[in-house]
Chains A and B, each alone.
Chain A
Amino acid sequence: MEKLGGIFNPSSPEMEAMADLTYYVIAISIGILAIIVVAVAYIIIRYRKGSKDSSEPYQNFGDLRLEIVWTLIPVAIIAVLFQLTCSTMKTIDPPIGNEEPDIVVIGHQWWWEFYYPKSGVLTANEMHIPVGKKLLLRIESIDVIHDFWVPELGPKIDAIPGHTNHLWMGASEPGVYLGACAEFCGTQHANMRIRVIAETEEEFNEWQKQELVVPRTPRSGIAGKGAELFQTKACMNCHTIKGTPAAARIGPDLTHLNKRQTIGAGVLTNSPENLTKWLYNPQKYKQGSLMPNMKLSDSEVEAIVAYLEGLK
């Protein structure tokens, strides 16, 4: 059997607490539903009108004691549920105090930007985290309301322009956790996906080091031509590549694009072939994306792919 996701695979202490509470409430709910279903089923069998019976049954107008009892029972259930709610929230949402965020998450139409203020790393759509650590995320938005949600790692929280939110997050086990934007944010809301890559402390540090390397810009060959096209074909109006004049943050930072697993915030796996397809016409794979069809020629696409894939 394939592994079920979401609540069936809680992978952080926060998510485990939330999943436990959910299971508990679902169990109580099934119990209550069962009582009602059994009562109604009994009524249907027992109190069905006989086909020849035209007499009226006993006219019962109610019972004050019963009304009091079935008002008080829900009060008790709710008291318990509210207590559980409060204690679970203590676990998953402790006060932030003066702590600095480990990662700043910025929602864009339709991709995610991740900034690590402690190291200066800036990346997109794929968030690397060290495993077993409770990290503080600051959630922001540059345009409309988005919502950061990785179902196996914890709660979801809105990314709102003009309003900063915080979220505690971690992963108990190494692995890739998939998430997505959960607040409707426009045409490509469906393809605003998140990959969280939880790795050991050493792997994470190594990744950070790699991300901070400013690559050498190729001056010759096909990649050199690609580098030149990147600066002249309007790519630089939206994207950043460190070590070059391209420094815009409208689209994702592409400095270390070749290290990422997907392109287009999760629409295609990252490979030279897919990058080629994407550059011919991003609108074919992500209709409505803010990256227009640049109408590049075969040789231009080939050069830009060689440049982006070759950045080290």
Chain B
Amino acid sequence: MSMKIPLVPENLKPLPRLKENEGMLSWVASVDHKQIGIMYLISTLVFFIIGGLEALVIRIQLAQPEFDFISPEVYNQMFTMHGTTMIFFVVMPFLIGLGVYLVPLMIGARDMAFPRLNALSFWLVIFGGILLYYSFLTQSGPSEVGWFAYAPLSEKPFSLNKGPTYWALGLLATGISSVASGLNNIVTILTMRAKGMTMRRLPLFVWMILVTSFLLVFVIPIIASAFAMMLLDRLLEATFFTPAHGGSAILWQHFFWGFGHPEVYILVLPAFGIISEVIPVFSRKPIFGYSFVAGSTVAIGLLSLGVWAHHMFAVGLGNVANLYFSLASMLIAIPTGVKVLNWVATMWGGKIWFATPMLFATAFIIEFVIAGLTGVAVASVPIDWVVTDSYFVVAHFHYALFGGSLFAIFAGIYYWFPKMTGRMMSETLGKWHFWLTVIGFNMTFFIQHFLGVMGMPRRTYTYHDFPYWGSMNLISTIGAIILALSVIVFAWNIRRSLKHGEKAPDNPWNAWTLEWYTTSPPAVHNFDLVPPVRGRRPLWDLAHPDQLDEPNSKVV
């Protein structure tokens, strides 16, 4: 195979850059998936700072036993808004937004299948966020019943304030948005792939977005109908969830967790996708066991639909139900473990370049394994009875959603920032950001495992001075302050790099998926020509015509 095949035409037409269409209107009125994607990312960064400040207020109040920094009402509002913001307005729209930006580029398409629906999805998230935060302006402030809003506490007799109503309306708006973007992704991925891009050659990030999109379409309607019932209860005197009038308090929990547990995978599967792109590129090797990484995602997606009641072991559903949900939940460890081992095996034998994206991806593996192990522990009913509703669970899910999703999100931002903006981010600031995050994160949350098994309940604005509780909480609070510093460094890095960052080449990491084939930032129409897709790594094949991925990659 020494004959050189001209894969790419020599002359690329010069194209208009996004820069030339600057101006607010070109953004607000845009139906371009890249602009919408970037708007998603910017707005989630704003919500991330708001949600982070709420977390900081929580940690300051808990720095000392019987501390008097904020009132119990404000504390309860803070943890309600922190959880709601981070889940519905940071991690979820960030990952959806990243998908909106990347999926068409990665599959070699011009745009999403339904560009206007795409814009609607984004603006509904903003609308939902405004509705949610508008509740700060109401007389008694935002909802103070937690992001889980358990009935009957969230019902009118116990929450007369307007907070939970705005909360439900805001989330209903984002729910509609999520279903729309799920459908949009599914149609885009199934129908708009470039020639040669078979499902077995799909980049893993796109695979994970596809599975996530099916989950969105299946489970968001569950919670959306529950929100509708809650609003009927609160506004029109219905009694779906009020036991005093024949409703059921437990029914809300089934609806909520029927959505809520798959939601965890909605928040983490695209993060797995980011990791599955970053680790191979920086290890200079293809992903180890592609089919198993993609297949295990489908397995996780299916299993996640049947495990919701592991959030309800203390509800008293009976031992038969408890044991079923216990076993089903433990099973998720198998496909998740397969993923982790494939990532480690991808790094094994590589020539690893520890740039900032790879630092976050490597730390992700360790932090996420901790979350996975505590996750298997809490799937065992008796252990759950020890630790549920305690700080152990707070530690567990922050390892999943911060150590997992957010670490991957940071890896993704450092990885794709050059593509989106045409500028490199600062590696020095990136390393500062990384180390402050790792230290701050583990300092804040690791110790909470111990607080939990020692008996500290969650969602309490104050606590007695039991032996070591004060000092352990203080350590956690200092960790949170370090995390706040890390966010300042991160925000500064973005701001600085946008203006003064080194100009990014089209493919700064020497990566292999199609988005790196086009210019940085990409032209409005993405590609002049999409190179032939003859394997999972089109750009590797272009660079190594004598060492094509297929048929070698066909094995796994």
Which A residues have a C-beta under 8 Å from some C-beta of B? 2-8, 17-19, 21-22, 25-26, 29, 32-33, 36-37, 39-40, 43-44, 47-50, 53, 55-64, 66-67, 70-71, 74-75, 78, 81-82, 84-86, 88-89, 92-93, 109, 139, 143-145, 147, 149, 151-152, 154-158, 160-163, 165-166, 178-191, 193, 266, 287-288
Q: Is A22 a contact partner of B347 (Cβ separation < 8 A)?
A: no
Q: Is B284 a contact partner of A61 (Cβ separation < 8 A)?
A: no
0/1 interface trace, chain B 306-343, chain A, CB 8 Å (1 if under): 00000000111001001100110011011001101110
Q: A32-B373, A43-B352, A60-B349 are in contact. Are A89 and B381 (CB under 8 A)?
A: yes
Q: B556 → chain A, closest Cβ, in Å?
A: 3
CA distance A44 to B459 in the complex (A): 39
B249 neighbours in A (Cβ, 8 Å)? 145, 160-163
CA distance A41 to B403 in the complex (A): 18
Q: Is B347 a contact partner of A47 (Cβ separation < 8 A)?
A: yes
Q: Is A62 a contact partner of B556 (Cβ separation < 8 A)?
A: yes
Q: Is A85 a contact partner of B380 (Cβ separation < 8 A)?
A: yes
B469 to A, closest residue via Cβ: A5
Of the residues A26, A37, A56, A155, contact of B385 by C-beta under 8 Å: A155
Q: Is B362 a contact partner of A25 (Cβ separation < 8 A)?
A: no
A181 to B, closest residue via Cβ: B457
Enumerate 9 A-B pairs (CB-CB under 8 Å) in ascending A order.
A5-B455, A18-B383, A40-B365, A50-B351, A60-B285, A60-B349, A88-B380, A166-B316, A182-B390
Q: Is B382 a contact partner of A43 (Cβ separation < 8 A)?
A: no
B314 neighbours in A (Cβ, 8 Å)? 147, 155-158, 182-183
Q: Is A33 a contact partner of B555 (Cβ separation < 8 A)?
A: no
* CB of B513 closer than 8 Å to a CB of A: no
Q: Is B153 a contact partner of A186 (Cβ separation < 8 A)?
A: yes
A165 neighbours in B (Cβ, 8 Å)? 315-316
A interface secondary structure, majority:
mixed
Of the residues A7, A84, A186, A189, contact of B453 by C-beta under 8 Å: A7
Q: A27 → chain B, closest Cβ, in Å?
A: 11
B552 neighbours in A (Cβ, 8 Å)? 59, 61
B252 to A, closest residue via Cβ: A145
Q: Is A43 a contact partner of B380 (Cβ separation < 8 A)?
A: no
Q: Is B459 a contact partner of A82 (Cβ separation < 8 A)?
A: no
Q: Is A64 a contact partner of B556 (Cβ separation < 8 A)?
A: yes
Q: A206 → chain B, closest Cβ, in Å?
A: 29
Q: Is B555 a contact partner of A186 (Cβ separation < 8 A)?
A: no
Q: Is B547 a contact partner of A70 (Cβ separation < 8 A)?
A: no
Interface size on B, residues (CB 8 A): 92
0/1 interface trace, chain B 452-465, chain A, CB 8 Å (1 if under): 01110111111110
Q: A217 → chain B, closest Cβ, in Å?
A: 35
Of the residues A25, A70, A89, contact of B338 by C-beta under 8 Å: A70
Q: Is A21 a contact partner of B382 (Cβ separation < 8 A)?
A: yes
0/1 interface trace, chain B 25-65, chain A, CB 8 Å (1 if under): 00000000000000000000000000000000000000000
* B446-501 interface with A by 8 A CB criterion: 453-455, 457-464, 466-468
Q: Is B385 a contact partner of A156 (Cβ separation < 8 A)?
A: yes
Q: A181 → chain B, closest Cβ, in Å?
A: 7
Q: Chain A CB within 10 Å — which of B146, B342, B362, B382 has the most? A: B382
* B374-432 interface with A by 8 A CB criterion: 374, 376-377, 380-383, 385-390
Q: A5-B467, A29-B374, A44-B362 are in contact. Are A151 and B455 (CB under 8 A)?
A: yes
Q: Is B352 a contact partner of A21 (Cβ separation < 8 A)?
A: no
B153 neighbours in A (Cβ, 8 Å)? 144-145, 184-186
Q: B476 → chain A, closest Cβ, in Å?
A: 17
Which 5 pairs between the two chains have the least Cβ-Cβ distance? Answer: A162-B243, A62-B556, A151-B455, A155-B385, A190-B460
CA distance A18 to B455 in the complex (A): 14
Of the residues B73, B288, B467, contact of A62 by C-beta under 8 Å: B288
Of the residues A4, A74, A139, A187, contact of B454 by C-beta under 8 Å: A4
* CB of B270 closer than 8 Å to a CB of A: no
A64 neighbours in B (Cβ, 8 Å)? 555-556
Q: Is B248 a contact partner of A162 (Cβ separation < 8 A)?
A: yes
A154 to B, closest residue via Cβ: B385
Q: Is A47 a contact partner of B454 (Cβ separation < 8 A)?
A: no
Of the residues A17, A78, A288, contact of B331 by C-beta under 8 Å: A78
B383 neighbours in A (Cβ, 8 Å)? 18, 21-22, 25
B76 to A, closest residue via Cβ: A187
Of the residues B250, B333, B381, contact of A160 by C-beta under 8 Å: B250
CA distance A115 to B381 in the complex (A): 28
Of the residues A33, A61, A145, A180, contact of B369 by C-beta under 8 Å: A33
Q: A144-B153, A161-B244 are in contact. Are A7 and B454 (CB under 8 A)?
A: yes
A88 neighbours in B (Cβ, 8 Å)? 380, 382
B460 neighbours in A (Cβ, 8 Å)? 180, 189-190
A185 neighbours in B (Cβ, 8 Å)? 153
A109 neighbours in B (Cβ, 8 Å)? 158
Q: A142 → chain B, closest Cβ, in Å?
A: 10
Q: A60-B288, A155-B385 are in contact. Are A5 and B466 (CB under 8 A)?
A: yes
Of the residues B145, B152, B340, B349, contact of A57 by C-beta under 8 Å: B349
* CB of B167 closer than 8 Å to a CB of A: no
* CB of B221 closer than 8 Å to a CB of A: no
* Supplied contacts A26-B377, A40-B362, A161-B152, 19 more A-B pairs, CB within 8 Å: A8-B453, A18-B382, A37-B366, A40-B347, A44-B362, A62-B556, A63-B288, A71-B334, A84-B380, A85-B381, A147-B314, A154-B385, A155-B382, A163-B243, A178-B466, A180-B460, A187-B72, A187-B144, A266-B464
Q: Chain A CB within 10 Å — which of B352, B462, B552, B555 has the most? A: B352
CA distance A185 to B461 in the complex (A): 12
